[in-house]
């Protein structure tokens, strides 16, 4: 069974895995950024509010904030990105995930875009 992924209009994604929300940036976002050269991740234990800056991704073009798609406590970060920031370019919605959050309110997921709505949104802005 395929896991459901939700998206934000700021190009973050979130997917529930083993009781935590795994978060990262979308493939569209990494394409727009270009070559990712550095990722600054949140601290484990940090409490993030939905929509708040949670991480920073730097590319050869610019540095951008990554926003928390849901509220909760950071329970893990993808340490691989420290030495391999290019994972974001190679596998943005899988191996290039940024952090895992213990959800404060699962109801927030209902306010995000599903895959079809996100694809339609990207088509509108291209």
Q: Do 61 and 33 contact (CB within 8 A), yes or no?
A: yes
Task: Please classify residue 124 by burial: count the beta carbons closer than 10 Å to its beta carbon, then call 0-12 exposed, 13-18 middle and 19+ buried.
Answer: exposed
pLDDT of residue 37: 97
The domains of the chain are located at 5-125
- Residue where the block lists tokens 């940090």: 46
Successive 10-residue mean pLDDT values, the chain, 126 residues: 85 94 97 96 98 96 95 98 96 97 95 96 94
> What's the alpha-carbon Rg for the chain, to the nearest Å?
13
CATH class of 5-125: mainly beta
């Amino acid at each position: 069974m395929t896991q459901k992924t939700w998206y934000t209009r700021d190009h973050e994604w979130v997917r529930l895995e083993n009781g935590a929300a795994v978060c990262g940036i979308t493939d569209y976002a990494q394409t727009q950024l270009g070559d990712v050269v550095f990722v600054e991740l949140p601290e484990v234990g940090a409490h993030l509010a939905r929509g708040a800056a949670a991480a920073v991704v730097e590319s050869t073009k610019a540095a951008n904030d990554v926003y928390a798609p849901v509220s909760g406590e950071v329970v893990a970060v993808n340490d691989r990105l420290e030495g391999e920031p290019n994972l974001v370019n190679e596998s943005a919605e899988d191996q290039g995930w940024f952090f895992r959050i213990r959800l404060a309110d699962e109801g927030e997921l209902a306010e995000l875009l599903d895959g079809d709505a996100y694809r339609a949104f990207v088509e509108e802005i291209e």
